[in-house]
Chain A
Amino acid sequence: MKKTAIIFYLMFLIPGIGMENPEAIEPVFEQPILLTSAGQNAEVQLVSVLAKRAGLTYTLSKLATAAELADKKTLVLSIGASMKGLGAAGLDIKQEKTRITDLVKAAQDKKIPIFCLHLGGETRRGQLTDELITLLIPLSQAVIVVNSGNQDGIFTRLCEEHDIPLVGVNRVVDALKPIKDAFK
């Protein structure tokens, strides 16, 4: 009994383990959305399905540029570097970082908020992805992460440092509600 209680309490203390992060995202984000991948990952398609199921108005553009922000109210980034995706897009990581940096800067100039997701979990972490995480999370206004991708607490630390609401989910499908609730 005592052991069970200790384990139960530890689950709250260790970031990203077991339980959904209780912090919700305030419904301040507006539509229509420009959705793009940061790193040419396959998870951007998951975000697209979630957005569709949430009834959101969005445009999916995997190679989005600043010009596509014209009539958009929120920029949503699916973060994760995929060598396969980069190869298929004919880009190297340097070119992809330049594209994303330019896009993010344009969003900031237009005062368009940025919403980041990392849905690839533990298997979508690595040096290149971590570079994107470190670059983009501090610039965002909300983050949703699959918990297995946050076992080392990188998202927790960055969000706490920059006072950004973070929602952790155990499974991709669990991200549907927080996404839906975050948008007006």
Chain B
Amino acid sequence: MSKTRQVQKPYSYLFAILLVIISSCATEKSLPHSDDPHKPYNYSARNGMVVAAHPLAAQAGVDVLQHGGNAIDAAVATVFALNAAEPFASGIGGGGFMVIYLAESKKTTVINYREKAPAAASADMFLENGEVNNTWRRNHGLAVAVPGALAGWTYALNKYGTWKLAEVIKEAIRIAEEGFIVSKTFSKINKDEYEKLLLNAGETSCYLNDGFPYEPGDTFRNPDLAAFFVRLAEKGMDDFYRGDTAQKIASAIQAKGGVMTPEDLAEYRVIEHPPLTGSYKDFKLFTTRPPSCGGLFVQQLLNIIENWPVKDWGHNSASYIHHFSEALRIVFADKARYLGDPDFVSVPIEDLISKTYAADIAALIQPDRLLSDYPYGEFDKLADKKENTTHLCVIDKAGNIVSLTQSINMFFGTGIVPENTGFILNNQMSDFSPDPESPNAPGPGKRPVSNMGPLILFRQGKPLLALGSPGGTRIFSSLTQIIINIAEFGMSLDEAIEAPRFFSYSSQGRARNLSVEARIPLDIITALENMGQKITIREDYDKYFGGAQGIMIPAGKKVIFGGADSRRDGQGAGY
């Protein structure tokens, strides 16, 4: 062997070693999936992870983690980035709920930044000549509730974060300025909401492409939002709630027939409170409280399911789906009867999540046929007290966790965009019941009931799973199915998320159709029909059932796993 070759060999080994070291430090970005986006894929990382409904947003969060930010810093960076990258599902014009686990103190807390009704709201505000006017509830100025998102994000950042607003918002500004390639999901939703956007955002809005919906592959840019975020970084939250932006928000809403005033914005406050807690076998659940009902009803469903041998029945067997759907119908009866803003109405939370009540419900359900009626629970005494959407999970190196769900309600909210701001205002007022007698009727300052239910599941005192989903009334059904998929059917996180879903409910005592994803086998569907179920078959992977995101931290392992739902554009990033 020549001397030249002898010298070359050690260098090539050194190069190879360096390559291995460098690649192990790199971010596991949106790791290449197989060609099939629906094939279950668990992201993995050792130090920190973000799973969110858009890869740019997940990356924004992980960049913060990698540069020393904690989970709360990363979560806020992610939500700003989602506003730019997934503007149809959440943003500064909306609100939400955040569950935070602080590793050092082992404390879990909830930040409620749900929107509130304006002061001029009234119980009968959506009735026109005695009939419900659904346009007013969805595509009109009256549909807008006072946004809580910025107040919630800023509160979390100031109290539990370590970075400043100007730092966490940087990547969102870049995404809004430079734009991104529109996905099939974005395009389809843009087309579905075209009429509303045409009416309220206008033909020249950036939310339309020269007056037409965006096609997959187009580039979406939002220069107004970028400029607005730059101003926000300079001026802070006060401008939004008490300054120039507050005036613009109120003007835009009033121009479309709404009643919100700048004073409504100035009055907005975030609420922080302890989580709602419950259990399923050896798991402990920490989640949001009303007016968020998602976590409450996940717990109620788990309590009911605990009475059944679901593992023996098998995943998505006819018995499992039938019993679960009947349980859902009774839960919806409770929801209609009792749920409202606990600052205004009594909500019998402890009764609803009592194991005894759940056992009674389980015993009521018949194994081979539908009930003839779906009664709500009657409780002795009400304690004195007084929803289209996105979800993300974050974990940092220290073990702090954020599980956050937020929304502008329906995709693209009202479509109303305040002048020169680029963000869309919610239509969260439609989450109130139009029935003036309902505990969830609108009223001054009330927060509408939300189906959102971000949660953290613990086992033996340690966090095991952060989870949440969008999906409106399907949220708590889907979350419960995912939890059971993991706890009883032994699935990995993303297998549990991608598994076929189903949903049903009751209304005024009557069962509604059982909706199922088309992947449920025909023989199961036939068996369900023989029990009296009326089936609606939806798409194979239907976003009707939500778009869950989760992070799992298996005990004793040094690896974090992330799962992101292929029903939307969910992805994970970790390092």
Where the two chains meet, the residues of A that have a C-beta atom closer than 8 Å to any C-beta of B are 42-43, 45-46, 49, 82-84, 120-124, 126, 148, 171-173
The contact of A46 among B184, B212, B544, by CB within 8 Å, is B212
Instruction: Scan B521-550; emit 1 where CB is below 8 A from any A CB, else 0.
Output: 000000000000000001100001000000
B184 engages A42 (CB within 8 Å): no
**B192: CB under 8 A from chain A?**
yes
Q: Is the CB of B539 within 8 A of A49?
A: no
**Distance in angstroms between the alpha carbons of A46 and B211 in the assembled complex:** 9
Given A49-B198, A126-B539, answer yes or no on A120-B191 (Cβ-Cβ < 8 Å).
yes
Does A173 contact B212, Cβ atoms closer than 8 Å?
A: yes
Which of the residues A123, A171, A173 comes within 8 Å of B184, measured between beta carbons? A123
- How many interface residues does B have (CB within 8 Å)? 19
Question: Complex Cα distance A46/B209, Å?
Answer: 12
Cβ contacts under 8 Å, B538 to chain A: 83
* B191 contact set on A, CB distance < 8 A: 42-43, 46, 120, 123-124
Distance A45 CA – B196 CA, assembled complex (angstroms): 10
B368 at interface by CB-CB < 8 Å: no
How far apart are the CA atoms of A173 and B210 in the complex, in Å?
9
7 contacts between A and B (CB under 8 A): A43-B194, A45-B194, A46-B194, A83-B544, A120-B191, A123-B188, A123-B191
Contact status A49-B192, CB under 8 Å: no
Q: How many contacts A-B (CB < 8 Å)?
A: 41
Name which residue of chain A comes closest to B215, CB basis: A171
Q: Is the interface of A mostly helix, strand, loop or mixed?
A: helix
In the complex, which residues of chain A have a beta carbon less than 8 angstroms from the beta carbon of B215?
Answer: 121, 171-172
B211 and chain A: residue at smallest CB distance: A49
Interface residues of B in 181-216 (CB under 8 A from A): 184, 187-188, 191-195, 198, 203, 210-213, 215-216
Contact (Cβ within 8 A) A172 B212: yes
Minimum C-beta distance from A98 to chain B (A): 19
Complex Cα spacing A172 to B212, Å: 7
B515 to chain A, nearest CB (A): 10
Known A-B contacts A42-B192, A42-B194; the reply to A49 vs B184 at CB < 8 A is no
User: A45 with B195: in contact, given A171-B215, A172-B215 (CB under 8 Å)?
Assistant: yes
Which A residues touch B203, using CB under 8 A? 49
CA distance A84 to B211 in the complex (A): 22
How far apart sit A42 and B211, CA to CA, in the bound complex (Å)? Answer: 14
Contact of B198 with A45 in the complex, beta carbons under 8 Å? yes
Given contacts A42-B193, A120-B191, A148-B216, 13 further A-B contacts (CB under 8 A): A46-B194, A49-B198, A49-B212, A83-B538, A122-B184, A123-B188, A123-B191, A126-B539, A171-B212, A171-B215, A172-B212, A172-B215, A173-B210
Whether B192 contacts A84 by the Cβ 8 Å rule is: yes
| Bound Cα distance from A173 to B208, whole angstroms | 12
A82 partner residues in chain B, CB cutoff 8 A:
192
Measured between beta carbons, the chain A residues less than 8 angstroms from B210 are 173
Task: Give chain A nearest CB distance to B89 CB in angstroms.
Answer: 15
In the complex, chain B residues whose CB is within 8 Å of the CB of A126: 539
Q: Is the CB of B213 within 8 A of A123?
A: no
Q: How far is the CA of A120 from the CA of B213 in the complex (A)?
A: 10
* B243 → chain A closest CB, angstroms: 36
- CA–CA, A148 to B213, complex, Å? 15
Q: Which residue of A lies closest to B195 (CB)?
A: A45
